[in-house]
Structure 1
C-alpha cells in the first residue's frame, strides 16, 4: 500500500528562506525568542524575600487584571507559565525536606501530584494556544468524481429502537445513491436487526464470533466492502444530511488525508447537566475536548479518531492493518498508527451528528474507565514519545491525551493532603504558610485566568475538578493495572437507550464521595476547633481549612450528580422551528410550527383560535422538510393536551416511510447542535465557583431526601432498559 508521501504533495511545502532579508528576519525572531526565554528563566530563578515576593505577586495580579480583556491569550499564557515555573522552582529548591520522615514522604507525594498537574497545565496550553480554524473543503460540481462511501454502524446489544434512527438518517445522507452504501454491523446476530436492515434497504453484516469487540466488527466489515471512504457512526449517533458533503471534500484536495473527525454532540443531557440541573449556558463535560482541544490538536496534525462521527480513507486504514485491536481505545490507537506512517488528519469543528449521553453517573463512570484503561494500555505498548514517524508536536499532543486519564491518583492526593495537618498535625508542606501563599496564589490565579480565556465558552473554571473528582477513585486502579499488565481487562459496551423510571441516590457509585466528604468534614470540624482554641498556627490552619472547604464544595457537586433524576419522557426532545400543518378530525387544518420533536411525539406552537382539541383525538401532522423539500406523508398522532398556545401530540405507530420522515425532520438539519454551541456563555470564575457550591448544596439536600425516602419505602429498579422512541 502506498504511503501518503507517494500519493502526491497534499499541501504546499513551507517556502524556504531566500535572500538576506528573510534570513535576517528569521535571525531576529530567533534572537527575540532566546532573549525572552532568558528573561523568563531569570524571573523564575531569582530569589526574593517574602515581602518582595508578595509585592511581585501583587504586581502580576494587577498586570493580569489590566490585560484580561484586551491582551491576547498568549500573553496570559506567558504570565501564567512564568508564575507556575517560579512556584515549582521555589517548591523544589526551598520546600523539600531531605531528611527521612513521614512528613517528608507525604511532602514528596504532594509535590509529585503538583508536578503532574503543572505538566498537564503546560501541555494544555500547548494544545489550546493556537486552535486551527478549518472550513469544509468544496466538492467538485461533477458528482461522478465524488468518492464512493461505505457507512458503518456497529452495534452489539443496544435496543433496535436506538439503532433505527441512525440507520434511517444514514440512508438519507446527501450523496449520490450509486456511490453510498449503508451497512448495519450487528455483532449481536439478532434476527430483528436483520429484518429491519432488509426493510430499510441497507446491508446487514455479522460474524460468527466477537473477537476484538468493536474493532473486530469494523475490520470484518472492511474486508467485505470496497468504498474509497468509510464513515463510522456509533449506533446512537444520528448524522445530519450534510455530513458527507461537509467532510469528504478534503480527501479530494489532500491525497495524504486519512481522517476527518467531527464533534460528538448529544441530544440528551449528560448526568452532570441533568442531575445538577445546569442551564444551557454551562458547557457539558465533552465541550472542552471538541470545542477547543481537538482544534488545537489539528494545528499539530494530531487530531485523532474518536470512534464515531468520522470519515476515514480506506487506503490509510489498509496501510496500518485496519482498526487497531491491541487496546480498548481502538480509535485513538488507529489514528496514532496512521500518524506514524505519515498520514494526515483534520478536525472539522462543525457538529454534524448527535447521539445519546450516558443515562446515569454509573454508566458515565464505566465509559470513562474503558477510555482510561485504553489510554494507559496505549501509553505502555505504543508510547508516543518513542518509536518512529511522529513530529514533536504530535508526540506531546498524544502524550497529553494519555496522561489526562492518569489524574485519579493526583486528584485523590489533593482531596486528602490537608487532612494530614488538620487531623494528625503532620506538616506536609515544609514552608511558612505565608510564603506558600505568596508563591502559590500567582500560580493558581494566573492559571485560572489563562484557562478561562483560552477555553472561553467551552469549559468553565472549577468544573474540571468536579469531573475529575467524580472519576478519581475509579480511574486510579484501572490505569495502574493497565500500565503493569496491558492485556488485562476487556472491552465493555456503554449502555444506551435506558430510562430512569424513578429518582434515586446511587450510593453504590457515590460511596467514595461520601467517604471523602466525611473525612474532609471531620477535618473541617477539627481545624475549626483548633482555630477557635488557638491550638495551632492560625495561618496554616486558615490555609488548610480553605482547602478542605473547597474540597467539600467539589465533593458536594459529585454527590448531587449521583442523585439520579427521573426521566419523564421516554425519548429526549430535539429543539426545532419547523412549519407544520395540524389536521384533527372535525376541525379545519391549522398552519402552525413544531417547536420540539422526539421519536415519541412533538409540541406545536399554535396561532390564536377559539375552542380546544379533545384529549386523545386522532390527528395528523405534516412537517416541512429541513432541506426545503416538500413535506412528506403526514404523521398520525393523538392529542395529548391542548394548552391554547401549545398543542402536544403523541405519535401513533409509524410505518417505515413515516418514521423516515420523522427522522429527517429531527436529525437531518444541523441547527439543533449548532444552537447548543450558541447557548454557551463565557464564564466568570468566581461566579462559577459560587454556582458549583449552590448546586452542590442542593444536591446534598436531594441526597438526604432520596435516602430518607428509600429507607421508608424502597423503590423499584430505577434504570429500565427501554427504547428511545
Structure 2
C-alpha cells in the first residue's frame, strides 16, 4: 500500500488543497498504524477512490460522524471474501450424499426382493407378486404422505395460533429466519417449497395476531380505520398465497416436434388486426410474417383493417397477403377477429397485434402440440418488447432490469401451464379453429376479450399450453398516460370477468384452474388496498387513531418477519423476472387510476369501452406529466405533513408513545420513497426516434463502392438503418454509398445504403432506397431471426436489500426531478428546505467509486 507521504503527494497532484490532503493523509496514517490493511476486503477499499463523498474537499465539522457512518457501512455491508467451504456448501453436499445413499438402499432392497421371488415361484406368479408388492408400496407411501401432511398441518396450525411472549416470539422468528437463510441458496425445487412454507407460516401467524390481538374495540374511529387496514392486509395475504400456488412449480414445457411429412402439418390463418396504427408499424409485422418457416400452401396471412384505409388495401395487394375489412367496428378487436374467422378456413389461427413482429420459427415451435393433443386449443408465447416502456425509459432500466410484464410472461404463465390454465393474451398465440367455433368465437362481453376467451375454452374442457421462448417482439407504450390507460383497460376487463363469469363459480374448471384465474382477476383489485397502505400511518400521526392496537416492539416482531420472509421468497422465485420491492412501485403508479374503474366494473360490469393503445409515437422534449402525477403529489404532501407532525409528537407527546411514533414515521418514510419512485416515472424523457433501435451483435460484412469487403459486427438496427463496427475500414465521409451484407440461413443478402455518421470505426448506415423485396429480406434478417430475442436481459443475481436500496435511490431521484420541473418561484421558496435535506443526505453512507485506469496507474506507480 501507499505510505502516508506518497498518499499526500498523490492527493496534491490530483488537485486537492493542502488542508484536505493533510486531513485525509492523517486518517490514512491512523488506519495504516492500527488496521490490518493487507486483508482482501481492505484492499478493495484501497483500490477505490476512497470513501466516496469524503474526498477532495476541505474538512467540515460533521466529517468525524461521516467517517464513522461510512466506515461502519463498508465494514458491515461490504461482502467479505469467502474462506474455504461455507456451511451451506457442506449442507448441500450432505443432502446429496443422503439422497444417493437412500437410492442405493432402495435399489438393493428391490433387487434382493425380486431375486428371492424369482427363485421361489414361477415366472407369471413372480410378476404378479412384484405388481402386488409395488401396489402395496404405493399404498404405504400414500398413507405415509397423508399422515405426514396431517401432522405438518397440525404443527403449522399450532405455530400460527400459539401466543408467545416477546422472548419466545423473537426466538421463533430467529429460528425460521436462520432456516430460510440456510436454504435460500440451495439448488432445486425443494428449498423453494420449504421457503414458501416458512413464508406462509410467518404470514399466517402475523394475520392471526392482527385479527386476535390488535383491534381496539373500545373506540369507534380506531376500530373503523383498523378494520380498513386489516382488510387491505387480508387481501395482500390472499394474493400472496394464491401467487405461491400459481408459481410454485413452473412447467417449462419443451416444444413438441412436428412430423417429418409436411403434408400432415395443419393449415394456418395468420391474422394481424389493426385499427388506427400507421402503416410503418404494420409493414414490419407483415414482412416478418412472410418469412415464417411453413409450407406456402398451408399459410395464409391477412390484414384485418378496422380502419378501412385504402393505403392498407394497396399495401396488402403489393405484399401478396389477404385484406379483410368490415363496415362497422362493433366489439372492437374481438369483433374484428370474429368477422375474419367467418371469412377464413384454416385449421389453426395465429393472432399477432399489428406491432408484434413474429420470428421465423413461431409455427415450428407452437404447432406440434396440436397434432399430439387433439384437445389442445391454445398455445401462447410471451409478449416481448424491443422498445422501452415509460418506466424503463424514464428510469434508464431498459435491458438492465426486467420490465413490468416480465414476471407474468416469464413465471406466472409458466406456472399456469402446470395447472392447464394458460391465459390467452390477445397476440403471439396459436389457436384451434374448431375450439373457437365451439365457444362462439372470441368473447365480446368484456374489454379483455383474450382472458375471457381462454376461460371459456377451459370451461369446455379444452387444454392450453405455454411456450416460454419469445417468438415475437413489439412496441411498448411510449408515454406514461398511454401506459396507465392500457392498464386501466386490463383492470376493468378482469373485474368484468370476475363479476359476470366468476371462475370460482360455475362448471368445467379444476380447483387449480379456478385459483389461477381468481388470482389474475383479484390482482387487478390492488388499487384500493395500495392506497390504504400509503395512507394508513397517517391515521395515527394526523388523527391519533390506533389502527394497530399493540406495542411498537411487538409490531416489529410480527411485521418485519412477515415482510422479510415474503421478500426473500419472492427473490428466490421471481428474482430473474422482477426485482424485489419493484412490484410496490408498479402498484403505486397504477393504484389511483385502477381503483375507481375496478370498483365500477364490479358493480356495473357493462360500463366501459375498449380503447386502443397508441404505438409508434414521439416525444420531442423532456417533460413532467403533471396530470398523471397529481395523485402522487397529493399523497406525498399528506405523508410529509404526517412526518412533520410525527416529529412534533415525538418531542412534545407522551413518552409512552415515542416508540409508536418512530415506527409509524419509518413507515411514512418508506411510503414517501415509494411515492417518489412513482414521481420519477412521471418525468418523461425524450423519445425522438420513430423506429426504436434494437441492440444486437450479429456478424456482418461491409462492401465499399470499389468492391472491398470488410468483416464487422452489427451493433444495432431499426427499420431505417443500422450501426456497424468495422475495425479495418478507414474513416468514411457522411453520404458515402456502401452496402451491408447479412446472412439468413445459407443465403446472403445485400442492402445498399449511405453513411449517416462515422466515429471510431463505428458507421451509421441509413437505408433510403431499398426495394420492397430488400425491405422484406432486411426484416427477416434482423427482427424475424429465430434467435432475435433470446438472452435479452443482462444476467444479474437478485439481492433483496440491494433492490430495496435501488428503489429508495429512485424515490429520491423522483423528488429531485420534481424539483427540476417546479416553477422558479416555488423552487426559490423551497431552497432552505432543500439545503437542509442536502446536508442531512451528506451523512448517508455510499459505495466507493472505482478508479479510472489512469488514476489507478498514478496511484500504484508511487
Q: Normalized against structure 1, the TM-score is what?
A: 0.93
Mapped contact 1:283–1:680 kept (Cα < 8 A) = no
Specify whether residues 709 and 342 from structure 1 end up closer, same or farther in structure 2 by C-alpha distance, changes over 3 A only: farther
Aligned match of 1:629? 746
Please give the per-residue CA displacement for 1:434-483, whole angstroms capped at 9, x wherever unaligned. 11111222111111111111113111111000000000000000000001
Q: 1: distance between equivalents of 2:813 and 2:559?
A: 31
Choose which of 564, 571, 574 in structure 1 pairs with 2:691: 571
Which residue matches 1:562? 682
Q: Could you give the per-residue CA deviations for residues 50-87 of structure 1, whole angstroms, max 9, x where no partner exists?
A: 22212212222222222221261001000011001111
> d(CA) in 2 for partners of 1:62 and 1:314?
53
CA contact (8 A) 1:578 1:624 kept: no
Q: Kindly state the Cα deviation for residue 91 of structure 1 after the two structures are TM-superposed.
A: 0.9
The offset of 1:661, in angstroms, is 1.4
Residues 629/33 of structure 1: CA separation in 2 closer, same or farther (3 Å cut) = same
Q: Does the Cα contact within 8 Å between 1:276 and 1:557 map onto a contact in 2? A: no
- Structure-2 residue corresponding to 1:598: 718
Report the alpha carbon displacement of residue 95 of structure 1 after superposing the two structures with TM. Answer: 1.4
1:588 aligns with 2:588: no
State the alpha-carbon separation in 2 of the partners of residues 703 and 583 from structure 1.
49
Q: Distance in 1 between matches of 2:725 and 2:333?
A: 43
Task: Note if contact 1:557-1:696 (Cα within 8 Å) is conserved in structure 2.
Answer: yes
Distance in 2 between residues matched to 1:292 and 1:63, nearest whole Å = 25
Instruction: Answer with 171-180 or 24-33: which moved more.
Output: 24-33
User: 1:593 offset after TM fit, Å?
Assistant: 2.4
Mapped partners of 1:201, 1:494: distance in 2:
28
* In structure 2, C-alpha distance between the alignment counterparts of 1:699 and 1:540, rounded to whole Å: 28
Cα deviation per residue 1:378-408 (whole Å; 9 max; x = unaligned)? 0000000100000000001000000000000
Partners of 2:715 and 2:592 lie apart in 1 by: 42
Structure 1 counterpart of 2:567: 448
1:533 Cα shift? 4.1
Does 2:322 correspond to 1:322? no
Indicate the RMSD between aligned Cα atoms, in angstroms: 1.9
Q: Look up the match of 1:531.
A: 650
Deviation at 1:302, TM superposition (A): 0.5
Partner residue, 1:65 = 181
Paired residues for 1:192-203 under 5 Å: 192-203=311-322
Aligned to 1:722: none
Equivalent position of 2:393 in the other structure: 274
Cα 1:17–1:351, aligned 2, differ >3 Å: closer, same or farther?
farther
Tell me the CA shift for residue 283 of structure 1: 1.0
In 1, Cα distance between equivalents of 2:370 and 2:825: 56
Matches within 5 A, 1:495-574: 495-533=614-652, 535=654, 537-574=657-694
CA distance in 2, matches of 1:50, 1:137: 56
Q: How does 1:622-661 map to 2 (within 5 A)?
A: 622-625=741-744, 628-632=745-749, 634-661=750-777
1:167-316 matches, cutoff 5 A: 167-278=286-397, 280-316=399-435
Q: Structure 1 stretch 534-543 or stretch 27-36: which is displaced more?
A: 534-543
Aligned match of 1:715: none
Kindly indicate whether the alpha-carbon contact (under 8 Å) linking 2:216 and 2:546 is maintained by their aligned counterparts in 1: no
State the Cα distance separating 1:548 from its structure 2 match.
0.9
1:52 pairs with one of 168, 175, 178: 168
TM-superposed CA distance for 1:553, in Å, is: 1.0
Contact 1:503 1:706 in 2 (8 A): no
Q: Is the 8 A contact 1:270 1:357 kept in 2?
A: yes
Q: CA deviation at 1:582?
A: 2.3
Between the aligned partners of 1:232 and 1:466, the Cα distance in structure 2 is: 32
Matched with 2:807 is 692
**Worse overlay, 698-707 or 67-76:** 698-707
In structure 2, what is the equivalent of residue 668 of structure 1?
784
Offset at 1:656? 1.2
**Alpha-carbon distance between aligned partners in 1 of 2:312 and 2:780, rounded to the nearest angstrom:** 21
Shift of 1:579: 2.9
How many angstroms does 1:587 deviate by?
Answer: 7.1
Contact 2:273 2:336 in 1 (8 A): yes
Aligned with 2:258: secondary structure?
A: coil
Deviation readout 1:348-382 (Å, 9 max, x if unpaired): 11001000111011111000000000000000000
Aligned partners of 1:114, 1:494: CA distance in 2, in Å? 33
1 CA distance for matches of 2:726 and 2:198? Answer: 55
Q: Secondary structure at the match of 1:74?
A: helix
Question: 1:607-642 CA deviation, whole Å, 9 max, x = no partner?
Answer: 224x421112222222222xx23122x323221111
Native 8 Å contact 1:280 1:680 kept in 2 = no
Deviation at 1:500, TM superposition (A): 1.1
SS of the equivalent of 2:782 reads: helix
Q: Which moved more, 1:277-286 or 1:398-407?
A: 277-286
2-side partners of 1:301 and 1:493: how far apart?
Answer: 30
1:116 pairs with 2:235: yes
Match of 1:716 in 2: none
Q: Find the residue that maps to 2:792 and give its secondary structure.
A: helix
**Which structure: larger Rg?**
2
For residues 101 and 275 of structure 1, do their structure 2 counterparts lie closer, same or farther at Cα, with a shift above 3 Å needed? Answer: same
**Shift in Å, 1:305:** 0.3
Render the CA deviation track for 1:245-268: whole Å, top value 9, x for unaligned: 000000000001000001111000
Q: Corresponding residue for 2:86?
A: none
Q: How does 1:11-160 map to 2 (within 5 A)?
A: 19-70=135-186, 72-99=191-218, 101-160=220-279
Q: CA shift at 1:16, angstroms?
A: 13
State whether residues 281 and 616 of structure 2, in contact with CA within 8 Å, keep that contact through their aligned partners in structure 1.
yes
Paired residues of 1:606 and 1:644 also in contact (CA < 8 A): no
> Could you say what secondary structure the match of 1:349 adopts?
coil
Q: In 2, Cα distance between the equivalents of 1:261 and 1:310?
A: 4
Instruction: Using the TM superposition, give the Cα deviation of residue 671 of structure 1 relative to its aligned residue in structure 2, in angstroms.
Output: 2.8
Closer, same or farther in 2 for the Cα pair 1:124/1:511, shift >3 Å?
Answer: same
Alpha-carbon offset, residue 535 of structure 1 = 4.9
> Contact conserved, 1:139 with 1:146, CA < 8 A, in 2?
yes
The one-character-per-residue Cα deviations of 1:568-626 (angstroms, maximum 9, x if unpaired) are: 433111233333332344573433221211112110110224x421112222222222x
- Shift of the alpha carbon at 1:33? 1.0
Which deviates the most, 697-706 or 314-323?
697-706
Quick check: 91-100 or 350-359, which moved more? 91-100
Which has the larger displacement, 552-561 or 409-418? 552-561
Match 1:683 to one of 795, 798, 805: 798
Q: Please tell me whether the aligned partners of residues 517 and 555 of structure 1 are also in contact (alpha carbons under 8 angstroms).
A: yes
Matched-pair contact (CA < 8 Å) for 2:215–2:547: no
Aligned length: 693
667-676 or 452-461: bigger deviation? 667-676
Would the alpha carbon gap of residues 587 and 19 (structure 1) be closer, same or farther in structure 2, given more than 3 Å must change? closer
Taking the aligned partners of 1:276 and 1:528, their CA distance within structure 2 comes to 32
SS at match of 2:150: helix
Gaps of 5+ in 1: 1-14, 713-725
Contact 2:702 2:710 in 1 (8 A): yes
Which sits farther off after the overlay, 102-111 or 574-583?
574-583
8 Å contact 1:577–1:594 — kept in the other structure?
yes
Distance in 1, Cα, partners of 2:270 & 2:459: 26
Unaligned runs of 5+ in 2: 1-130, 828-862
Q: Measure the CA separation in 2 of the matches of 1:79 and 1:279.
A: 34
CA distance in 1, matches of 2:647, 2:795: 39
Distance 1:16 1:335, change over 3 A: farther
Partner of 2:748: helix, strand, or coil? coil
